A and B are shown apart, each in its own frame.
Chain A
Amino acid sequence: MGKIEWAMWANEQALASGLILLTGGIVGVAGQFRGWQFAAYAVAAGVFVCLLEYPRSKRSKGTSVERPGQYCFTVCVKAFGPLTRNYYVRAFLHAAICVPGGFMLATVMGCVCLGIASLIYLAAAIRGEKWMPILPKVEVKAPVETMKNPPQNPPPRPPAEFRRKHVDDLEGAAYDNPMSVTADE
């Protein structure tokens, strides 16, 4: 059990709770049930929780899979800095948000689920986990060398005696072929 990142599960649970809270809130308001004001609150709270929890955190080990279209949410959530990075804050925030949901039947399920998400976040916070944004990697391109500098030194040459062409062997001195050449067949 040692390698678990509790925050990943807390995130799934919190997102689901947000949706359940939202649904319960809509039912409560539309049906004009007793205590529908709590339901109206639940709609707002549900939307808020969903927006906060939609961007998945980067995993500390392994590849992170983004949720579709989460980039803009990531940027928004990242903007709050330590408030959203720290999981203690999230745990207490969710615990506080979920309480009013318990006062109305339609939203009670959302309340309990969010409460559990809050507990899991607390466990994550105690273990020192943090929310890290998944950002596309900015590749640092090395300046492309289109032209290499011309060589600064002349190529190595044998000493002067060998370079001088021998007059007695004119044919041999005329053209020095490094490799034997055979006709193509």
Chain B
Amino acid sequence: NQNKMEQHGIYLSSFYLFLWMGVNIFLFVWYYFYYDLGDEFFYTRHLLGSALAWARAPAAVLNFNCMLILLPVCRNLLSLIRGSFMCCGRTIRKQLDKNLTFHKLVAYMIGLMTGEPSFFLLHCKHFRQGVYDKLSTALSALEDGANTSYLNPVRKTDIIPTYFVFTTIAGLTGVVITLALILIITSSMEVIRRNYFEVFWYTHHLFIIFFAGLVFHGAGRIVRSQQNEKAHNFTFCKDRPEDWGLIPECPLPTFAGVPGYHPRTLAVTLFLLPFFRPGCGCVGFETLLELQLVKSGFKMDVGQYVFLNCPAISQLEWHPFTMTSAPEEDFFSVHIRSAGDWTDKLIDIMQKLPEGAQGPKMGVDGPFGTASEDVFDYEVSMLVGAGIGVTPFASILKSIWYKFKEGNPKLRTRKIYFYWLCRETHAFEWFADLLCVLEKEMEERGMGHFLTYKLFLTGWDQNIADHAKVQVDADTDVITGLKQKTHYGRPVWDKEFEQIRKENPTSVVGTFLCGPEALGKVLEKKCAKYSEVDPRKTRFYFNKENF
């Protein structure tokens, strides 16, 4: 019983996927037949067999996919597209959230197309054990000169194949880029990516070598086609190689190489380079440091993140941090936890600073945009932050409150439901403090109902539960000191959605999550389940954050 909106999103995704797959299949089939049936490749096919077509078809698919692979991860380009699609509705912008999935899909296709030709080298006569037939010998004997041109790039019959590979541009670049690709793939495996992020990150930069090698891979032009088919008819001449050049019907066949990348392609690639700002994953937390930074001309939106660099620690390392300040403040802040060498050193430097002194100079790159910019558009917002995913919501909540105080017309939100799930709050006391401050301010203005938040401690143990039982009558929560009580265990989403629907019978509710994928799937389903088809009734829209 899926609702229309969710169906719409699924149709759009399927459409793009279908389109992409369609182009891949088309390219493969087109180029397969181009090389397998083309007259100009008749002699080439005689030497290479069906390996020619089976190797060139994936090459075409590779060209297409290598062009595509960078686009889903060009952060600047994505931000640009998001901005220009402001008018085109939420559905299109949500497609951009699936960028990483698409990047992985294209990567699998590249891997597959790189491996496939190896099977079809079985037909490659260049390096066979057996003896060349009369035609092949004649073709291979063609020299590179004034009136003649060669076909067989392998000039000697006793050449060692490996030696040949390493002394041609195509061979050498081929080995180098395949190696780069394999290293990138092995370091992108889920185990490595999730647990040893720097290995994944630095190894992925081998893509620079990959593209450099790819651009020059065809420069040697070793795949050659016949140029003078009209003068030299192969149907007649193929059985008479001994007469070539001696009878008028069969002048020596001339060959030229199939060109590699056109300079135009190179120009486009270089043009796209400034748009490329690779993103990466979450930062883990331990001891906390709040860094407040000031930069002239810096503009940010809620929930965005920046890359920070500290030359005093490392010239090369840039690390991403979600900003925890609101755009309305005159500084921007990040909360940094000890999660590795770089963050440890930064915390160490800051701790050693004397009172009131300014910190070392930092490099800032960004800010980079996310879907949380949509959060002000909804009348009712349902925000779910799990674990460290709560960080962007600090920025969002602060900004909503500032906008509300100023009476900012851009703010359509009039009710927020905030769900905070974490194992233990010790790690997020700063966030609890923020909620405390907001709670007080709202009470003072009689706006206690603007923000409803629920904290779920998923890592409770018997001690905590016993303590809570004893304190059940206290005014404020025993763990956080907040007025609204802490719940233990995970939320029962059906109950929560029911409550929101009951309290807001005619509104559009935007649901935002920053947390694990599994939770995202659950929420997506619930959003679909509790949305009414009737546009006058409650509808839930799900937006997933992906840091």
Q: Which residues on A are within 8 Å of B, measured CB to CB?
A: 1-5, 8-9, 12-13, 16, 20, 23-24, 27, 30-34, 36, 56, 59, 62, 65, 102-106, 108-109, 112-113, 116
Contact = CB atoms under 8 A, between A and B. Distances in A.
Nearest to B158: A34
Contacts of A106: 118, 121
A109 B196 contact: no
Interface of B is mostly: helix
Q: Which of A4, A12, A13, A105 has the most CB of B within 10 A?
A: A105
Interface string B174-205: 01001100110111011110011011000000
Given A34-B129, A105-B127, A105-B161, A1 B341 contact: yes
B138 interface: no
A31 B185 CA distance: 28
A23 B117 CA distance: 12
Interface string B97-132: 000000000000000000100110111100111000
Given A9-B196, A65-B191, A33 B179 contact: no
A33 B129 contact: yes
10 contacts: A1-B341, A9-B186, A9-B187, A24-B118, A27-B121, A31-B123, A32-B128, A62-B195, A108-B162, A112-B179
B165 A108 contact: yes
Contacts, number: 85
A8 to B, nearest CB: 6
A2 B187 contact: no
Given A1-B341, A30-B122, A32-B128, A116 B183 contact: yes
A37 to B, nearest CB: 12
B196 A5 contact: yes
A2 B196 CA distance: 10
B340 interface: yes
A59 B182 CA distance: 23
Contacts of A103: 162
A9 B127 contact: no
Q: Which of B121, B124, B190 has the most CB of A within 10 A?
A: B121
Contacts of A4: 196, 198-199
Contacts of B187: 9, 12
B471 to A, nearest CB: 27
A32 B179 CA distance: 25
B191 A12 contact: yes
A27 B196 contact: no
Contacts of B165: 105, 108
Contacts of A59: 195
Contact of B179 (A9, A65, A104, A113): A113
Given A4-B198, A27-B119, A32-B128, A109 B179 contact: yes
Given A30-B122, A31-B124, A33-B127, 4 more contacts: A3-B340, A8-B192, A12-B186, A116-B183
Contacts of B198: 1, 4
Nearest to B190: A65
Shortest Cβ-Cβ A-B pairs, 6 listed: A105-B161, A31-B122, A12-B186, A13-B186, A4-B196, A2-B341
